[in-house]
Amino acid sequence: MRARNLKPGFFKNEDLAELPFEGRLLFAGLWCLADREGRLEDRPKRIKAEIFAFDSVDVDKLLSQLASFGFILRYEVQGSRFIEIPSFLLHQNPHWKENPSIIPPSLTQKPKASHSFIDDETQGFRSDDRPKNPGQAQGKSRVSPSMNEGKTGLNPHSLNPESSNTPPTPLPQSVDQPGKNPAQQYAPEFEAFWREYPRKIGKGAAYKSWGKLKPPLRDCLLALKWQKKSDQWTKDQGRFIPHPATWLNQRRWEDEKPIDPLDAWAMEG
């Protein structure tokens, strides 16, 4: 399993409280089993072996309950079953060295669940709005050739996150659709921001945040210009550069540029 974050708001989510305690523990365990995009294989017996090795628990039933509340999506692609955690990238910050996901994303509309938000006070889930159409989801997408070769287990070494407000421009269902150019599916302003952002991960989540916040492009580019040169962003090969969605959700374009000590000395002189 991988190291993941668990925030205090997890224990206060009212929708999650509707599930038995085993379901809540299962949800947290899925984060540890999921790859960096919040996806894993839908294999209840293996999931049970990983999370409830010493307990008698009906994992398949609990997964269905999590799906009914919109906490996860259960879907099938070319005969293979998968799970996707829609809010994964909003609550987790996978290590930058984790390998990209080789599991195809769901092509269905993600549930507009309030648990996709981070509460500023509790740093966890907000539960004031239950998803209107929760449930299991089915989708079709292109499957990686290695997927049926036994290389995509629950915790493979080769594997190593949404807003309820709809952005003003159409969102792509999947950037993996054959024959389509992903760059043509995003707003030009967002593409300009994306080109300048040094850590290109979680583009879909970043676009959701962009559509919700509508940040001024000029301010974003000016902030990135000096932030990319900061000590925090340049040390350890950029390990501490935040995910683009995190940067946007924290409104980092409003950060004030630190005063250079030499400039301060010149001003005093």
Contacts of 117 (CB under 8 A, 6+ apart): 87, 90, 125, 126, 163, 164
pLDDT at residue 160 tops 50: no
Stated pTM of the model: 0.42
Measured between alpha carbons, how far is 181 from 99 in angstroms, rounded to an integer?
Answer: 23
Q: Is 194 exposed, middle or buried (0-12, 13-18, 19+ CB in 10 A)?
A: middle
Tokens (6 digits) for 235? 């040390």
Give the max Cα distance, the chain: 74
pLDDT digits (tens, 9 = 90+) for 165-223: 444 444 444 444 444 444 447 888 898 999 999 999 989 899 999 999 999 999 999 99
pLDDT digits (tens, 9 = 90+) for 18-70: 889 999 999 989 988 989 888 999 999 999 999 999 999 999 999 999 988 88
Measured between alpha carbons, how far is 58 from 251 in angstroms, rounded to an integer?
Answer: 42
One-letter identity of residue 213: L
